[in-house]
Amino acid sequence: MQTATLVWLIPLPPALAFFLIAIFTYRKRALSHWLALIGAGLSWLFSMVVFFRAIRSTDLGEHPLVASIPWLPLGEGWLRIGIHVDPLTVVTLFFVAWTVLMIFIYSVGYHNFGQPQGDHDIAGLPPHGASVQDALGQVHIVPSVEPMYSRFFAFIALFAFGMFTLVVTDNLLVLYMAWEIMGLCSYLLIGFWYARPSARDAAVKAFMTTRVGDMFMLLGLAALYSLTGTLSYREILSNEVVLETLAQAASPLLGLSWAGLIGLLLFAGTIGKSAQFPLHVWLPDAMEGPTPVSAMIHAATMVSAGIYLAARFFPLLSAGWLPGESLTPPMFWMAAIGSFTALFAATIAVAQNDIKRVLAYSTISQLGYMVAALGVGAYTAAVFHLVTHAFFKALLFLGSGSVIHGMEHGVLHSGEKIDPQDMMNMGGLRKKMPVTFWSFAAGGLALSGFPLISSGFWSKDEILSGAFGGGYIVIFVLLASAALLTAFYTMRQVTLTFLGAPRTLSANHAVESRRVMTLPLLVLSVFAIALGWVGIPDHFPGLGGVIPNWFGEFVGEMAAAHGPESYSLTPLFTSIAVSIGGLLLGWWTYRKVEAGDKDPLERGLGVLFRILRNKYYMDELYHFIFVRPTQWLAETFTSRWIDRVLLDGIVEGIGKLAFGLGRIFSRWIDLPIITGAGDRLSEGLRDLGGRMRQMQSGKVQQYLILTTLFTFMLGAVLFYLFILA
Amino acid sequence: MNLFQSHLLSWILFIPTGGAIILLLLPSRRIGLIRWFAFLASSASFGVALVLWSKFDPSAAGFQFSERWDWYPDIHASYHLGVDGISLMMVLLTTFLTPLALLASFNNTEKVKPYFALFLLLETGMLGVFLSLDLLLFFVFWEVGLVPMYFLINQWGSANRNYASLKFILYTMGGSLGLLLAIQMMGVVAGTFDLSELLIKWPDMQEAMLFGLSTQTVKGIAFWAFVIAFAVKVPIWPFHTWLPDAHTEAPTAGSMVLAGVLLKLGAYGFLRLVLPLFPAESQQYGGALAALATLAIVFGALGAWGQNDFKRLVAYSSINHMGFVILGIAVAALAAGSQHAVIATNGAVLQMITHGLSSAGMFFLVGVIYDRTHTRNLKDFGGLWRLVPIYGSVLLFTAMASLGLPGFGGFVSEFLVIRGAWPVIMLATAISAVGLFFTGAYILKAVRLVLHGPLNTRWTHTLSEINTRELIVISPLMILMLVIGVWPAWLVGIINQAVNAWF
């Protein structure tokens, strides 16, 4: 099949799966997950074919594969939509296809397919376990199947459709549409267990917080469209004239150029979707969803979409910028927000006990790296980190899900009333869940950037060297400190979860997850370790040039002029030092935590620790300064004061006035004059009638006399009028 | 056959009236017969409308299928009908929604015969407004649409129906009083009520003097009279407070048609009469119109968010969504002739359709749950998705369409309006985007309180799933909302050509 046709087909199978499950097979579990798996599998297959064809073609960056069809007639032209395949599309497609497929497979096990239905399970709540009798007549409580099993697969299939569409499209409008569809899916999936108030609220929070960014993005889209008359990447981003014009033309706001203003508006979308400060608050709460969702949203797809947008529009965001010159306003803000977020989120992650929350903050932090990298113009490094992060973060989330699953098993067995996600309740799982442990370790090393044998090292090192090489020392220091904390909290997590001895009975009874869950972990581990080797910089001591820097060459085409120029060993040594130092520090601090112990950091940090644990009280602050006032604005100001009191008051006032006038009229004019006159008139008529009646006596003689009399009188009148006058 | 083909518009227009008259002759006790007959009569009108669509030539400028007979020759008023792409869309919307609304009323057992007869009369009134090319005829149908609605609210409404119906009729009557005066003024000054003649004469008329008033004054009075009449109907903030009451008290099908079609009469009035007849005045006051539209968008959304009555919330959402229609019209007024205006007007017309579908759907779904629980208070619900999974999914689907989620028609129309408005009125557009944010807030509030959260056990044994008839009502709406969102060209193609020709 032609490559273009294949690209068109990539997003469709999951969409089809969604509709089939939603309409027909929602009662059949196996059929539903097979539909979803086949859908994701076909998308994966098409993506791989496209990938391998693409990497063999030459200068794809210069000549992307494009095709489009007319979609919407507007004025005198058409808005066309289509596909666009260049190196950025290809590498994004690669990691999306792999992680999506792995997550789909994993979900079958995570939702306990094949297990009995729970005793008291209801739709809208996580399964609570089922009791089964074994051959000896003993009753065991075992995990039970998810009550809304089919619905889950329908939702994630729709999600996959959104992501694939976002990647292959050739214009900003369809990107926005796919972006919002993913927003809906994340809302549905975070709130999957909708009967839990926490899940319900987290879902609304995620939707609304990202919508803040989306609204700015929509305006940026409208601005771009009205200025250039197109939304196609090719016509805007590959066209130097358009970019130049946008960079020169002044916008009406804050002295920004149009490129700057549109860039900032689009970047606001990234801030929302990729959970950058100050819109990061939704992402940790999104952990309320089932774990495969966390992997889906926080690694493979949705948050990556924000970075993808920024990378895609990098030519616009950096329009008018040359390496070494001062940053454009969008780049400056990206560098500032990204690096701040990287450090800010890392500090919060240090103080979290929920295994998924730590990962959630680490995601925010790592996304900050990518945003900052784009901000300082390290384009290739940012994309590289996007790819490696997708794999190792999907791995870590799925690994944490496996841990939680094992712990839940232990909880069902022991009957303890503990939170199976709290790392303080774990410990020693290394021996209980070896596959999970080793794969989690691979992911953890990648996250902390362990030298040489982890993919995260290579991509993070490039970001650091990009920041350093460009001369952005503040950014470099922020990112390096964040890297130290990353290694620290990663090791804290690994130590608390897997090392030492079990701190609870449940942890002691945890069991390894089923093969359908561990297999995806193993596949992802391979990528988490080896993927970095495709992008070893040429000037890397010892290894550089031995293995060709395929990634740098392939993706570098996209931004030929924007690479770091000089190379220094400082960032390399820094990155090795912070990574190994952080890991050692983490292990040292947490190696001896016993059941019931306080967090060692809590002793050391005191109040600061409490602030970190409570995420700098951002949620409370937002509630106080945004949520409450707008609620007041809606409920009291608009609904009550404006509508009820003011406007209805005027309307009813007019009504009362009219009514009062009517009463005045009726009392002083109607009653005495009109009614009075009418009454008198009718009375008079009645009297007259009564008198007239007397004439109708029925006597012919009388009538004759009257007729004669009347005729005579009429004759006299006529005579007077016509003859005499 | 020839009589049929040459008078397609009259057939569409009077099939419902004929149906209503025959309906009155049917025995009152045969409720089933009455329902089905009314449904078939309005469906027949829809069928003819489809024939009309198939014969319609979107590329031809001007009005098609014109019919013209003298009506009051002495005052130069005639029975003049005709359609272009814009009115075709409205006719299709009306004839499509009315049978669904009738089907939605099949559970009504109270005074069935007058109910269905009034509904059919209402359909004629609405269609007449969209089809008339004569101002006097326009006004007659405008009023014909008003009266049945009053009775529908007043007789079949809920608790506070007297207040609501009176408010509704006084508000709109107040508006149409000015409309009548303005139409008479124009008729006297220009010597005709015929729209196609007026379009040529009126905008450039220099000696439009009446009672010694200057041309400027006469035109100004007529302009404002038109604007206020239509503004009440749309409704534009601050003429909107009749709407939440009327909607809330109206029977389900009444709300469906009220939101789905009646509000569009006002917007249609702007597009058909105000903009072409008063281009100079429109341009002069377009900024004010844009400001009011922005207020409607923001305050409509905030007002909706502030409600705890499910139906009232949906009612307020209409103010919010119709604000986008008006914003598009304001752009057309301000930047007449430009590409931005064409795009914004496309958006406004499409928004009339998509809002017609989604708001009718939302009101219907509110009705479904109200029929079962007899409460509209959002706080009385909670966690119902577990009990009624199909209803829940349908509600979520429709709510997302109403929210303007991409993939649904509402997104395309709102995007077009924003795209058209941005270069013309940047600040208003930016503030409208804030309104869009709150659109999300109130939709999610409703979904959250009805479907999500812990189950309110009061309904555990009493709530039944949406039934087949109700699914048949909502399914066409859902399919259309999705199809328009995924592939809008089949509608926008017609609208675009009409808008290009009209402005």
Q: pLDDT of A332-377, one tens digit each?
A: 999 999 999 999 999 999 888 888 899 999 999 999 999 999 998 8
Contact at CB, A215 and B488, closer than 8 angstroms: no
List of long-range contacts for A23-28, beta carbons under 8 Å, 24+ apart: A25/A150, A26/A150, A26/A151, A26/A154, A27/A150, A28/A150
Determine, for residues B415 and A640 on separate chains, whether the beta-carbon distance falls below 8 Å: no
CA A425 to chain B, closest CA, distance in angstroms equals: 28
Judging contacts by C-beta atoms under 8 Å, the chain A residues touching residue B400 are 184
Nearest-angstrom CA–CA distance, B18 and B160:
33
Which positions ≥6 away from A155 have C-beta within 8 Å?
A18, A185, A188, A189, A192
Q: Are strands A139-142 and B77-83 parallel, antiparallel or unpaired?
A: unpaired
Q: How far is A509 from chain B (nearest CA, A)?
A: 32
Query: How far is Cα B480 from Cα B92, in angstroms, rounded to an integer?
Result: 12
Which residue of A155, A188, A194, A640 to mutate against B (max B Cβ within 10 Å)? A194
Euclidean distance between CA atoms B210 and B341, whole angstroms: 33
In a domain, A220, yes or no: no
* Residue spans per domain, chain B: 280-503
Let me know: does B76 contact B194? Beta carbons within 8 Å.
yes
**Rounded Cα gap, residues A327 and B365, in angstroms:** 53
Distance (Å, whole) CA B29 – CA B33: 9
Could you give the CA distance from residue A375 to residue A271 in angstroms, rounded to a whole number? Answer: 13
- B244: cis peptide before it, omega within 30°? no
How far apart (Å, rounded) are the C-alpha atoms in residues A468 and A197? 46
Q: Which residues of A touch B396 (CB under 8 A)?
A: 188
Instruction: Determine which of A18-22, B11-15, B216-220 has the lowest per-residue pLDDT on average.
Output: B216-220
3-state DSSP assignment of residue A321: coil
Are both A649 and A597 inside the same structural domain?
no
Residues of B in contact with A221 (CB under 8 A): 419
C-alpha torsion sign, points A306, A307, A310, A311: negative
- Choose among B386, B400, B438: nearest Cβ to A122: B386
CA distance B32 to chain A (A): 31
Across the range A230-242, mean pLDDT stands at 86
- Locate the chain B residue with the closest alpha carbon to A632: B306
What per-residue confidence (pLDDT) applies to A560?
Answer: 54
Q: Is the pLDDT of residue B173 over 90?
A: no
Q: CA B57 from chain center: how many Å?
A: 24
Place of tokens 């040459």: B6
Do A153 and A138 meet the contact criterion of CB atoms below 8 Å apart? no
Name the token pair of A663: 């009463």
Write down the mean pLDDT value for chain A. Answer: 86
Averaged over A224-252, what is the pLDDT? 85
Contact B241 A177 (CB under 8 A): no
Chain B CB contacts of A208 under 8 Å are: 437, 440-441, 444
Nearest to B444 among A208, A223, A638 (CB): A208
The C-alpha atoms of residue A723 and residue B20 are separated, in whole angstroms, by 63
The helix/strand/coil state of A635 is: helix
Over its C-alpha atoms, chain B yields an Rg (Å, rounded) of: 22
Least confident of A22-31, A368-377, B363-372: A22-31
Residues of A in contact with B342 (CB under 8 A): 74-75
Residues B388-395 have a mean pLDDT of: 92
Question: From CA A571, how far away is CA A578, in angstroms rounded?
Answer: 10
Beta strands in A333-376 (DSSP E): none
A516 found inside a domain: yes
pLDDT at A724 (0 to 100): 67
DSSP string, B431-453: HHHHHHHHHHHHHHHHHHHHTSS
Inter-chain touch B342–A124, beta carbons under 8 Å: no
Structural contact between residues B434 and A238, judged by C-beta atoms closer than 8 angstroms: no
- How far apart CA A415 and CA A409 sit, in angstroms, is 10
Contact assignment for B418 to A218 by CB distance below 8 Å = yes
Q: Among partner residues B305, B346, B430, which is closest to A74 by beta-carbon distance?
A: B346
Q: Which residues pair with B80 in a beta bridge?
A: B68
Q: Are A276 and A364 in contact (CB under 8 A)?
A: yes
In a domain, A385, yes or no: no
Q: Could you tell me the two tokens for A378?
A: 């390290």
CA B452 to chain centre: 31
* Cβ–Cβ below 8 Å for A180 and B453: no
Across the interface, whether the CB atoms of A638 and B299 are under 8 A apart is answered yes
- Could you tell me the CA-to-CA distances from B295 to A638, B268, B299, B327 in Å, in that order? 11, 20, 6, 10
What whole-number distance in Å separates Cα of residue B230 and Cα of residue B293?
Answer: 13
In a domain, A644, yes or no: yes
Q: Evaluate whether A44 touches A100 at the Cβ level (below 8 Å).
A: yes
pLDDT at B90 over 90: yes
Q: Do A449 and A408 sit in the same domain of this protein? A: yes
Nearest-CA distance A219 → chain B (Å)? 7
pLDDT band at A687 (very low <50, low <70, confident <90, very high): confident
* CA–CA dist B314, B320 (Å, integer): 10
User: Would the CB atoms of A177 and B406 count as touching at under 8 Å?
Assistant: yes
Q: Taking CB atoms and an 8 Å cutoff, what residues of chain B touch A195? A: 383, 386, 452-455
Assigned domain for A719 exists: no
- Using a CB-CB cut-off of 8 Å, the residues of chain B touching A216 are 433
Q: How many domains does chain A have?
A: 2
Chain A residues with CB inside 8 Å of B416's CB? 74
Give percent of chain A with pLDDT exceeding 70. Answer: 97
Q: Which domain holds residue A642?
A: 621-696
User: Where a domain ends, among A551, A577, A608?
Assistant: A608
Residues from chain A that touch B455, judged by Cβ atoms under 8 A, are: 124, 195
Say how many residues make up chain A. Answer: 725
Closest among A216, A630, A206 to B448, alpha carbons compared:
A206
Question: Do A638 and A604 share a structural domain?
Answer: no
What would the mean pLDDT of B58-79 be, rounded to a whole number? 85
Query: What does each C-alpha distance from A350 to A23, A275, A291, A486 come to in angstroms?
Result: 45, 18, 21, 8
Neighbour tally for B109: CB within 10 Å: 8
Contact B489 A72 (CB under 8 A): yes
Instruction: Tell me which of A608, A640, A667 is where a domain ends.
Output: A608
Show residues of chain A in contact with B305, CB under 8 Å.
631, 634-635
Mark whether A420 and A533 lie in a shared domain: yes
Cβ B172 vs Cβ B265: under 8 Å: no
Q: Is B194 helix (H, G, I), strand (E, B) or coil?
A: strand
Do residue A670 and residue A551 come from a single domain? no
A462 and A542 share one domain: yes
Same domain, A450 and A573: yes
B306/A218 CB distance under 8 A: no
Residues 6+ apart with CB under 8 A from A608: none
Do the Cβ atoms of B496 and A216 come within 8 Å?
no
Average pLDDT (B347-369) is: 94
Nearest chain B CA: its distance from A454 CA (Å): 39
Task: State the distance between the two ends of chain A, measured CA to CA, in whole angstroms.
Answer: 112
Token readout for A231 is 């939304």
- Picking from A184, A194, A651, the nearest residue to B452 by CB comes out as A194
ipTM for the complex shown: 0.92
Nearest by Cα to A214 from A250, A178, A185, A247: A178
Which of A489, A202, A506, A507 lies closest to A352, judged by CA? A489
| pLDDT tens-place string over residues B286-313 | 999 999 999 999 999 998 998 899 999 9
Alpha carbon A377 to its chain centroid, in Å, reads: 25
Query: At residue A183, does pLDDT exceed 80?
Result: yes
Per-residue pLDDT band for B208 (boundaries 50, 70, 90) equals low
CB contacts of A643 in chain B (<8 Å) are: 240-241, 244, 299, 303
Give the 3-state secondary structure of residue A274. Answer: coil
Q: How confident is the model at residue B52 (pLDDT cuts 50, 70, 90)?
A: very high
Neighbours of A595 (CB within 10 A): 13
**Mutation for A interface: B232, B247, B302, most A CBs within 10 A:** B302
Mean pLDDT of A645-651: 82
Q: Is the dihedral of CA A110, A113, A119, A123 positive or negative?
A: positive
- Of A252, A640, A647, nearest to B241 by CB-CB distance is A647
The minimum CA-CA distance between A216 and chain B, rounded to whole Å, is 8
State whether A561 and A636 are in the same domain.
no
In contact, A398 and A106? CB cutoff 8 Å? yes
- Domain for residue A486, yes or no? yes
> Hey, are the CB atoms on B452 and A207 less than 8 Å from each other?
no
Boundary-marking domain end, from A585, A608, A631: A608
For the record, the structure tokens of A655 come out as 């009504």
**Upper half-sphere CA count for residue A219 (Cβ side, 13 Å):** 27
Residue A153 lies in a domain: no
Q: Cα(B130)–Cα(B199) distance, rounded to whole angstroms? A: 17
**Secondary structure of chain B: what % helix, strand, coil (to 5)?**
75, 5, 20
Q: Do A427 and A524 sit in the same domain of this protein? A: yes
Query: A151-155, A316-320, A559-563, B304-308 — which is least confidently predicted?
Result: A559-563
Lowest mean pLDDT among A203-212, A667-676, B4-13: A667-676
Model pLDDT, residue A411? 87
B436/A215 touch (CB, cutoff 8 Å), yes or no: yes
CA distance A537 to B19: 80
Write out pLDDT tens, residues A156-168: 999 999 999 999 9
